[in-house]
Structure 1
C-alpha cells in the first residue's frame, strides 16, 4: 500500500520551526515511520538537496496536492496527523476522527499548468516561477487556499491565477541607462527644427501651410489683447519731469500747486488729513521694513538684533507723516528713536500722532545730543516742509541735518520738497504721494505710494488718471 503513493505531490507541515515542505513522494517506510520527498521545496523555495526525509514525529499535517496513481488509502504514520482514507479523486473519509483536518495547513501551490509525464506515469515536481520564489523568504508564511477539495481543483485555480509564460520573466534588472543612451535628444530636436525650417514655419504634424504660432515667455499672456497704452496719465502742464514704472507706464510729475489742489479736492470728498496720514504711514513703514531686510531680518529668532531707525521730524504735516510711520515701525518690533524739537504751538495732527506713538514704547527726544552716536540701520527724514523754507535756518534743523549727514546710515525721505529747494540731507530713497513732484538729483531713487485718491478726484483737477500701482501700494519710478 505504501508504494501506491510514490509519485504523488504532497505538502508536509512540520510546524513553525521547520516550516512547510512540498515535493514528490519518493518512498514511504512504515517500519521506520518515515516519508521521503524528491525535488523538495521549503516554504516556496527550492531546496539545494535532491531529497528530504521526514520522521512521523516531526510531521504536524500532511496534505495531498495531486494523486498520480490509483490508490485507496494513505499509509499510516504513527505520530502524524494522517489518519484518514482518501479516494483517488481526493475525497476523505475520517476513520479516527481525532486528528486535525488534512487541509487545515496553508501550502505553496505550483504555478505550472501542465507538468510533463515521465516514464511510469510519474510527473516531476512542478517548476516554481522565478518571481514567486524570489519574492518570498525562507521563513515567510504562504497564502491560504481555502475551499479546494482535491488536487485537480487546486491546479485549475493555479492556472487561472498565474497563467502561462511565467518562466519567461528575466532574472537581470532592466538597464535604464543603456536604454536611455539609445535616445539621441540633440539629434531628434535638430531633426524637428530642420523639418520646420523646410516647411517655412509650418508644423510637420499640422495642416500644410499652417503657420507656427508665436512663442511666448512664461510671463506673457497668450490671449490676444489690445495694444498697451503706456501713457495713461495726462496732466495739464507741459514740459514737466516724467518718470516710468517697471512695466513701462509713464508717470508725469505735477507742480506743488496742482498737488495742493489735488489734496484739497480729495479732502472735500472725505479723504481727510487723518486718513492720508494713516495711509502714508502704512506705505512708508512697509517700504522701510523692506529696506531693513524684511523677513530675513525681522524674525522671532532674531529678537537680539532688532533694527534701529532714527526718525527726524519737523513741526508740519510732513513731520506728522513721519510720526505715523514711526508708530507702525514700532508696532513691528523696530527700535524707533523719534526726534522732534519742543515747540510752544504744534499742529493738532502732530499732537494726536505723538499721543499714539507714546503707546508703542518708542523713544522720543527733542535734542540732537540724545540721538545715537553710533550708526543706525536707517534714517527717515521728515524735516522739510513744502511751504515753510525758513525752518532750514533754525539751529535745531541744522543740527539734525548735520547729524544725519555724519551718521553713515542710509536715508529715506518722505514727501520731500520740489527741486527748486535744496536738500539739506542727501537721501538714498524718496517717497512721493499720489503723483510725484519734480524732484532733484539729491532726492535719490524715487518711489511712489498710493494714498487712496479716487480717479474722479484726479479728473476734477484736470488729470486723466489710470492707476499705475497694479497689485502694490508702493512702486519704484525711473527717471526718463
Structure 2
C-alpha cells in the first residue's frame, strides 16, 4: 500500500483507556468481591454465628393458627381476673397452692385494719352534752368541776397557767386569723385593708386569755383594740399579759366611748368568768355587751361560761379548751382547741382520752 493509505488498528490490540468510557457505562466489579471483602468470607462468618442452615427456613411461612392453638386464653384470663376455670374467685394461699390474690377497687384498702372506734373518750361524770368531730369521733362534755380538777392536775405536772395562756392565745389567734380571711386577706399587697378586731376582756383568767390572743393578732399585722376597764387590783396573769401586749402595735382603751363606732371585722368576747357571776351587774360589763350586740360584727367567745349562765353577748363561734363544757351557746358553732394537756393527766382524773385533733390544734364540733 502507498504512504497515503490509512492504517487500521487490529481488534486484537490493547483495549481503550477507561477515560474514554461512555457516561452510562458502569465500572465492572471484580469477581467475588463485595463491599471490600470476599463473599465467601462473609458467608463463613454468618455460618459461624447463626448456624449453617440460617437461610433454609426463611422461605417457610409461619403457622399462626397452630401457634395460637398453644395459647390457653382461659387460663391466662382466669389468673388476671382472680378466678378459677369455673368462674369462682380464688385467693392466694401461703402454702403455694394455686390461686391469685383478690382484686380490689381503687377506693378499697388493701391492708386489713381494725374497725374504727368512734367513742375513744369516756368521762366518769357525763357533762350533759355530746359532740362529734368531722371524722365522727365522739367528744363528750365535762362538768366545770371536772374541768377544774383536770387543770389543777395539769398544773401539778408542770403545765402552768402561763403555758396554758400561751397555748390558748396561739390557738384562738389562729382561729381568728382564719375567720378574718386567712391568706386571702392578710397579704403584703393588702396592707391598706388591714382587719380590725375589738377585744373585750374582764379582770380574770378568761380576760388574760383574750389579751394573749390580741398580742398574737397584733404580731400578725392585725389592728387590735383592747377594751379593759381600769381596776384598782388586777390578777398577776392580767398584769403580765398587759405588759407583753403593750410592746405591740395594739391599742388599749378603758371606756366604751373609745371603741369604734363603725362595725369592726371581728369581736372577741372574753368578758365572762366561770366563777364570778356578779360581774354581769357592773356598768362596764353591761355597756361592753351592749356595744358588741349593736356593732353588727361577728363575735367569737373564748372559753364561755357553762349552761345556766345567760350569754350577754350573742356569739357566732365559741372556743372551748381541752374538752368542751356544757355551754348554752344558742346557734353558735362550737370549736375545740388543744391546750397541751398530756394523756396521762387525763387518766389521772378518770378520763380515758385519745386525742381527737389529728393534725390540727383547733377543730369544729357538731352536736351528736
The answer to whether 1:233 aligns with 2:121 is: yes
Deviation at 1:204? 5.5
Report the 3-state secondary structure (helix = DSSP H, G, I; strand = E; otherwise coil) of the residue aligned with 2:18.
coil
Equivalent-residue separation in structure 2 for 1:240 and 1:391 (angstroms): 26
Per-residue CA deviation, residues 126-150 of structure 1 (Å, 9 max, x unaligned), is: xxxxxxxxxxxxxxxxxxxxxxxxx
Report the 3-state secondary structure (helix = DSSP H, G, I; strand = E; otherwise coil) of the residue aligned with 1:387.
coil
User: Partner of 1:418 in structure 2?
Assistant: 306
Q: CA RMSD, aligned part only?
A: 2.4
8 A contact 2:321–2:336 mirrored in 1: yes
8 A contact 1:413–1:443 mirrored in 2: no
1:18-29 equivalent positions in 2, closer than 5 A: none
Of 2, 5, 18, which aligns to 1:70? 18
Question: How many residues are paired up?
Answer: 292
Equivalent-residue separation in structure 1 for 2:260 and 2:295 (angstroms): 9
Deviation at 1:237? 1.5
8 A contact 1:415–1:431 mirrored in 2: yes
1:5-20 equivalent positions in 2, closer than 5 A: none
Equivalent-residue separation in structure 2 for 1:443 and 1:342 (angstroms): 33
The answer to whether 1:378 aligns with 2:232 is: no
User: Partner of 1:312 in structure 2?
Assistant: 200
Deviation at 1:205? 4.1
Equivalent-residue separation in structure 2 for 1:365 and 1:295 (angstroms): 29
Normalised to the residue count of structure 1, the TM-score between the two structures is 0.58
8 A contact 1:434–1:451 mirrored in 2: yes
Per-residue CA deviation, residues 413-457 of structure 1 (Å, 9 max, x unaligned), is: 000001111100010000000000011143600000000000111
Report the 3-state secondary structure (helix = DSSP H, G, I; strand = E; otherwise coil) of the residue aligned with 2:269.
strand
1:31-430 equivalent positions in 2, closer than 5 A: 70-71=18-19, 120-121=25-26, 205-208=81-84, 209-210=89-90, 213-217=103-107, 221-238=109-126, 240-430=128-318
Per-residue CA deviation, residues 254-306 of structure 1 (Å, 9 max, x unaligned), is: 00000001001100111000000000000000000000000010001110000
Residues 464, 372 of structure 1: alpha-carbon distance in 2 compared, 3 angstrom cutoff: same
Specify which structure has the bigger relative contact order, considering alpha-carbon pairs within 8 angstroms and separated by 6 or more residues: 2
User: Partner of 1:11 in structure 2?
Assistant: none
User: Partner of 2:72 in structure 1?
Assistant: none
Equivalent-residue separation in structure 2 for 1:206 and 1:346 (angstroms): 75
Report the 3-state secondary structure (helix = DSSP H, G, I; strand = E; otherwise coil) of the residue aligned with 2:313.
coil
Residues 388, 203 of structure 1: alpha-carbon distance in 2 compared, 3 angstrom cutoff: farther
Report the 3-state secondary structure (helix = DSSP H, G, I; strand = E; otherwise coil) of the residue aligned with 2:176.
helix
Equivalent-residue separation in structure 2 for 1:466 and 1:335 (angstroms): 38
Of 339, 354, 357, which aligns to 1:469? 357
Equivalent-residue separation in structure 2 for 1:210 and 1:371 (angstroms): 75
Deviation at 1:118? 9.1
Deviation at 1:225? 1.0
Equivalent-residue separation in structure 2 for 1:249 and 1:214 (angstroms): 27
Residues 402, 214 of structure 1: alpha-carbon distance in 2 compared, 3 angstrom cutoff: same
8 A contact 2:172–2:213 mirrored in 1: yes
Equivalent-residue separation in structure 1 for 2:249 and 2:323 (angstroms): 34
8 A contact 1:203–1:210 mirrored in 2: no
User: Partner of 2:3 in structure 1?
Assistant: none
User: Partner of 1:458 in structure 2?
Assistant: 346
Equivalent-residue separation in structure 2 for 1:274 and 1:221 (angstroms): 45
The structure that is strand-richer by fraction is 1
8 A contact 1:426–1:443 mirrored in 2: no
